[in-house]
């Protein structure tokens, strides 16, 4: 369990939970298009899912091409997403 905590701590160090990356990457980035619909437009949910699903697929394929197993990528991303949601909830509750 310690290894998982160490990885999560490192991830949280790399990403400021306000969304700012705390280091510059020299690797190619995955392109994510800006929303084309207003926040109150019902189609925005569909658009968001389409755009982020494509970026997610690209990320997973990139990780697998680097040598990570698909199951490792999936489980780690689920852990990271859970950590992020919990941190976001704490930030929202604090405001």
- What's the pLDDT at 25? 60
pTM of the full structure: 0.65
The DSSP 8-state label assigned to residue 23 in this structure reads S
**Average confidence (pLDDT) over 64-72:** 96
- Enter the tokens of residue 2: 């310690």
Per-residue pLDDT of 25-50, as tens digits, reads 666 688 899 999 999 999 999 999 99
* Whole-angstrom distance, CA of residue 47 vs CA of residue 34: 10
């Amino acid at each position: 369990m310690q290894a998982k905590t160490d990885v999560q701590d490192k991830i949280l160090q790399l990403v400021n939970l306000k969304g700012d990356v705390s280091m510059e990457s020299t690797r190619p980035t995955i392109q994510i298009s800006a929303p084309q619909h207003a926040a109150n437009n019902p189609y925005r949910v569909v658009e968001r899912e389409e755009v982020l699903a494509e970026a997610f697929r690209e990320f997973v394929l990139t990780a697998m091409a680097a040598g990570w197993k698909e199951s490792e990528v999936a489980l780690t991303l689920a852990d990271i997403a859970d950590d992020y949601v919990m941190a976001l909830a704490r930030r929202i509750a604090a405001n």
